[in-house]
Amino acid sequence: MNSTQAVIDLIAKRKPRHALPRELYSAPEVYRQDLEQIWHRDWVFAGHTFEIPKAGQYFTLQIGDYPVAVVRGKDGQVRAFHNACRHRGAKVCEEAQGKVAKMVCPYHKWTFELDGTLLFAGNMGQDFDKTQYNLKPVHCEIVQSYIYVCVAAKAPDFEAFRTAVTPFVAPHFLEDCKVAFESNLVERGNWKLVFENNRECFHCDGTHPELMNSFVENLSVAGVGGDDDPELSAHWARCELAGMPSRLVMDINGRFRMTRIPLSAGAVSYTMDGKPAVNGRLDKSGEADIGALLYFNYPSTWNHFLGDHALSFRVLPLGPNETLVTTKWLVPSTAVEGVDYDLDRLTKVWLATNDQDRKLVEGTQMGVNSPSYEPGPFSEIAENGVCQFDDWYCSTMLDRLRGPISLKSVG
């Protein structure tokens, strides 16, 4: 089977404003194309700079076929490398996170400097030119503590995203943060089902009692609008007056979006009672109720920034029917657990919400896999965000699968 044409045909089969055909959520050939056209080509959120503050600290992640290590150098710079030894390919950094003086391959002890330079390789003889075997670099960009990496030989533009996201996130002073808690959830569902589920809260009322104490979906921002909503306009005006950019910004290709939404009346944080979970603030606006700044950047992340803490979410595909969702609860670096915040209180709402979402995604994957499945229509009221995600996926895949128009066929 020509998988390029097969995926083009499947996308062409999708009815407008409908869920995707089954194979796009489940077929190994489609998953392979998702990796090659999206995950192996685009910027992917890896982690935060404050997770590796000291020289030699690293964390690792797997982006499709590519193991990657993100390392803080002696010069303070954060770099990313293909985590594959230049000798016989072993993973050099073995752990999810760690701290090393040098990167030493566990197999035959080839030793790399923190900037990837090969320092030592035993038994290789006199003619061995070690300058030819440094670790291969991975593109790495940092914006407001977010480390993004791209495993492609040539990375796409990063600057449009940097320009758009910086004014929104900068007033939250993430460089003064720490991770209070991290959860890693493997969901038995395709990564697109995970993101579709994130892009609507149609399901929230019936599913997320904990989250509904504070979160209220603003349908005006699910698509690209918002100006026609008086509550939202007032929230934006009040927050912007306090120096917190809020008005919705959407990427021209639909890949990223930022906006600040009000929480439900009286709530200022994602806690059971809506009151702050942390003593102290990330922002310095002086505005008590800034609601939640939301930003997503396909294919790998969505985020919530509150006054007292922030949440980053990272999505990584593990297989056609398996996705890793990593959630990090970010609090001021000076906040002391048990004094300034209680971990259970801080994490209760989103631990519950994530697990409820996992069940929905897994149930949907089962149903979609059924030969009886037929893609159903999206609600025009409550599912514009899901539709926007699927539209972005389909148009991105079509553009890339079809490639540039050949001059021959034009002539």
Q: Which of 159, 197, 410, 145 is nearest to 315 (CA)?
A: 197
Centre a 10 Å sphere on the Cβ of residue 252 and count the other Cβ atoms it contains.
Answer: 6
* 17 lines the binding site for ligand FES (CB under 6 A): no
* 88 lines the binding site for ligand FES (CB under 6 A): yes
> Shortest approach of ligand FES to residue 265 CB, angstroms?
59
- In order of 215, 259, 311, 334, 383, the CA distances from 146 in angstroms are 24, 18, 12, 20, 29
* 178 lines the binding site for ligand FES (CB under 6 A): no
Q: Count interface residues toward ligand FES (CB under 6 A).
A: 10
Considering beta carbons, is residue 23 or 357 the nearer one to Fe ion?
357
- Sheet-wide strand order for 137-143: 44-48, 146-150, 137-143, 78-82, 66-72, 57-63, 97-99
> Shortest approach of Fe ion to residue 201 CB, angstroms?
7
* 85 lines the binding site for ligand FES (CB under 6 A): yes
**DSSP letter assigned to residue 288:** S
Binding partner selected for residue 361 from Fe ion, ligand FES, none, CB under the kind-specific 5 to 8 Å limit: none
Considering beta carbons, is residue 59 or 110 the nearer one to ligand FES?
110
Centre a 10 Å sphere on the Cβ of residue 92 and count the other Cβ atoms it contains.
Answer: 28
Binding partner selected for residue 357 from ligand FES, Fe ion, none, CB under the kind-specific 5 to 8 Å limit: Fe ion
Question: Tokens in use for 14?
Answer: 């999708």
Binding partner selected for residue 130 from Fe ion, ligand FES, none, CB under the kind-specific 5 to 8 Å limit: none
* 187 lines the binding site for Fe ion (CB under 5 A): no
* 107 lines the binding site for ligand FES (CB under 6 A): yes
Q: What CA–CA distance (Å, rounded) separates 378 from 203? A: 13
Q: What CA–CA distance (Å, rounded) separates 196 from 91? A: 33
Question: Tokens in use for 338?
Answer: 């048990």
Q: Which of 6, 8, 35, 90 binds ligand FES (CB under 6 A)?
A: 90
* 108 lines the binding site for ligand FES (CB under 6 A): yes
Q: Which of 40, 28, 22 is nearest to 3 (CA)?
A: 28
Q: What CA–CA distance (Å, rounded) separates 342 from 272? A: 13
Structural contact between residues 232 and 221, judged by C-beta atoms closer than 8 angstroms? yes
> Shortest approach of Fe ion to residue 147 CB, angstroms?
26
Q: Which of 105, 194, 331, 368 binds ligand FES (CB under 6 A)?
A: 105
Region of 100-108, 221-229, 339-347, 363-371 interacting with ligand FES (CB under 6 A): 100-108
Question: Tokens in use for 113?
Answer: 């400097």
Considering beta carbons, is residue 109 or 275 the nearer one to ligand FES?
109
Contacts of Fe ion in 351-410 (CB under 5 A): 357
The site string for Fe ion over 113-132 (x = CB under 5 A, - otherwise) reads: --------------------
List of residues contacting ligand FES (CB under 6 A): 85, 87-90, 105, 107-110
List of residues contacting Fe ion (CB under 5 A): 357
